[in-house]
Amino acid sequence: MRLATRIQWHSYLVALRFGAVMGAVFGVMAGAVMIKPPLAGALFGAIAGAVDFTFGMTFIGAAEIFLPRTRAGRAIARLPFLVSVFIKATAYFLVVFVQVGGRIGPQVVGFLFGPQVSAQIGAQIDAAFPLGLSIVVGMMVTLLLVMLRQAAQLVGERTFRKIIRGRYRQPRTEERFFLFIDIVGSTPVAEKLGALSVHRYLNRIFQAASDPVDDHDGEVYQYVGDEIVVTWLVPDGRAGAKPLACFFAIEAALAAAAPEFEREFGTVPKLRAALHAGEVVTGEAGGSRRAIVFHGDVMNTTSRIENLTRTLDHPFLVSEDAIVRMQGADAYALKDLGPQSLRGREGQMRVYAAALS
């Protein structure tokens, strides 16, 4: 199973666990208040809540996690924002309606403890929590979860989890790989296609690169104009020379999509890239908008190496500092280009041209 697929399934199972725990907590509080005696109400509420929330998350979580990578999901994503939200909201409303209106949780409780208990619980819930109100609460909870999902996607799921856990609340020193990927010739494409079409062009490239990045355990740090910045902690990227493999996997994904690019945009994207590694300081920064940022010479140096691809006429350059930190780099064709002067740096740095063997 591809790493990207494993990550999707892991996210899905996390969503199911989160739904079960959240439902159980909500059920304990609501059950203890609405159902008599309170202890039994808390038990029944925990079971019913866990079942209800897990049922909803089974379908909604699958739609949020798996659908975007399908043809239908990409088609929905290309629709106007309000239209795509309406489609999702309608589908999720049906799930919540079946979940709440069908009293699936209380029915499971009835199955476990008998129909008489189920009927008694159902009557007390109906009295304290009418069906209409239950559906409204269900929709609000669903909306909250979807908004959290959207927020996580904006900054990256791993980055979002790190912010939630406070991992980088205090800055820390880390060794990281940085892969800078530049789309060649985007300026002429922009002049030919116009701003709106070039946005779709770049977005399609970024989408094509997404799976290879996930497959090789990388994190997209940011998109800067027509450039993608991907990073790995050195221990995560060392085995199998993942940063090297990632770039060639992105090239392969774009090559596979070349007919589609040619048909829609009249051009096929080409890439230039640079890979470097070293020590950075990682921490949260910002006020009203917070982000995880990397400070250190490694970022500037990687950018300078990427600039060398133009003068040295090699599309993919790798620093010696990156090569010595990887295992399995000898599986690729590495051409020693010798020490090179980088703009803004006093000393020279040895770089290699990388290609598939």
Domain residue spans in the chain? 3-155, 158-355
Render pLDDT for 38-91 as a digit per residue (tens, 0 to 9): 777 788 778 877 888 788 888 888 887 788 777 787 777 777 766 777 787 788
Q: Find out whether 54 and 80 touch, Cβ atoms under 8 Å.
A: no
Above 70 in pLDDT, residue 307? yes
- Positive or negative, the Cα torsion across 195, 196, 200, 201? negative
pLDDT of res. 272: 95
Phi (first) and psi of residue 132, to 5 degrees: -60, -45
With 80 as the cut, is the pLDDT of residue 244 above it?
A: yes
Q: What is the DSSP letter of 225?
A: T
Considering only the C-alpha atoms of the chain, give the largest distance between any 2 of them, rounded to a whole number of Å: 82
Q: How many Å apart are CA 329 and CA 338, to the nearest integer?
A: 17
pLDDT of residue 131: 63
The candidate with the shortest Cα–Cα distance to 18, out of 161, 199, 122, 129, is 161
When mean pLDDT is compared over 126-140, 209-223, 282-296, the highest value belongs to: 209-223
Give 158-355's CATH code, choosing from 2.40.50.140, 1.10.3720.10, 3.30.70.1230, 3.40.50.300: 3.30.70.1230
Give percent above pLDDT 70 in the chain: 89
pLDDT tens column, 174-210: 999 999 999 987 777 777 778 788 888 898 899 899 8
Cα distance between residue 261 and residue 224, in whole Å: 21
**What is the arithmetic mean of pLDDT over 226-238?**
94
When pLDDT is cut at 50, 70 and 90, the band that residue 246 belongs to is: very high
pLDDT of 254 > 80? The answer is: yes
- What pLDDT, on the 0 to 100 scale, is given for residue 228? 95
Read off φ and ψ for residue 159, nearest 5 degrees: -65, -40
Average pLDDT in the 23-50 region? 77
Please state, for a pLDDT cut of 90, what percent of the chain lies above it: 31
pLDDT in tens, 258-306: 999 988 888 889 999 999 999 999 988 877 777 788 998 999 999 999 9
Over residues 140-157, the pLDDT tens digits come to 777 776 777 666 666 667
Residue 13: is its pLDDT beyond 90?
Answer: no
Q: What is the pLDDT of residues 101-126, one digit of tens each?
A: 777 777 777 777 777 766 766 676 66
Instruction: Give the global pTM.
Output: 0.72
